[in-house]
Amino acid sequence: MRFPPRITRVGAAAAVLSALLVGGTVTATPATAAVGSICSSDLPSQAHDTLDLIERGGPFPYTQDGAVFQNRERVLPGRPSGYYHEYTVITPGSPTRGARRIVTGEASREDYYTSDHYATFDLVDFGC
């Protein structure tokens, strides 16, 4: 479990402030527009199960777990291929893998949760 550098949020805030002060425009990239945050305690219990499996190195319930996440939606910050990996968060009652995932980055405690199959992501905050 990993946290990314805070520069992404700080950089986005600085761009908005700069644009407001000098009368410019702000163009949000998908990476800064769609990544929110979620308190670890607000995650569903199945997400905690997945995070525990990641920490232990498996075994994982699906063969796709641990696969490289390509970030094709460009919602997460741009990184080289192989930086992100995805893991299934089991959805009770679903006959398929469902839409919930944990996507990890290589940086220390950088874990993202999505409940809508990559449309939006929340950075998991382990400090709350």
Active site residues: 86, 117
> If DSSP codes are grouped into helix, strand and coil, which group holds residue 10?
helix
Instruction: Measure the CA–CA gap between 22 and 101, rounded to whole angstroms.
Output: 40
Burial class (CB in 10 A: 0-12, 13-18, 19+), 77: buried
Question: Whose structure tokens read 């192989």?
Answer: 82
Instruction: Measure the CA–CA gap between 97 and 117, rounded to whole angstroms.
Output: 10
Provide the residue type at 21 as one letter. L
Strand partners, 84: 69
